[in-house]
């Protein structure tokens, strides 16, 4: 099974949603973790919009990328265009993608819904490709 790391600036919205979708949709196909260039906390609105789809991310934690080793992962996905800020060992994994999705933090709930749906579509494609 491929090991996937979703990484974002603060690991509070996009990467948390991606982790939630990947855990549910990729169960038995991929192993998944998420982290941030800096740690913060899981955004309450992200928790809310994911729960609308019966995916509970309330127990997920926000962790700094520095807590993990690049060589433990096959696939690295940046969700915020922060790929240029990642240490080189993270961008030279078997698969690296920079999705550059809008940051919904501080935006209306409609933005959270749009970004959530974009994350879901991309996670489904990723699972099909590497799962």
**C-beta neighbour count of 23 within 10 angstroms:** 19
Cα–Cα distance between 101 and 99 in angstroms, integer?
Answer: 6
Which residues are catalytically annotated? 8, 80
What would you measure as the largest C-alpha separation in the chain, in angstroms? 38
The answer to whether the Cα torsion of 130, 13, 121, 115 is positive or negative is negative
Contact between 22 and 4 under an 8 Å Cβ cutoff? The reply is yes
């Amino acid at each position: 099974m491929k090991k996937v790391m979703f990484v974002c600036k603060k690991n509070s919205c996009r990467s948390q949603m991606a982790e939630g979708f990947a855990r549910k949709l990729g169960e038995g196909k991929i192993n998944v973790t998420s982290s941030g260039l800096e740690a913060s906390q899981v955004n309450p609105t992200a928790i809310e919009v994911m729960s609308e789809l019966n995916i509970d991310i309330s127990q997920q934690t926000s962790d700094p990328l520095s807590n993990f080793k690049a060589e433990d992962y096959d696939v690295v996905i940046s969700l915020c265009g922060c790929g240029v800020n990642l240490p080189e060992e993270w961008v030279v994994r078997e698969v690296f993608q920079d999705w550059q999705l809008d940051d919904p933090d501080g935006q209306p709930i409609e933005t959270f819904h749009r970004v959530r749906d974009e994350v879901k579509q991309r996670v489904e494609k990723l699972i099909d490709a590497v799962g």
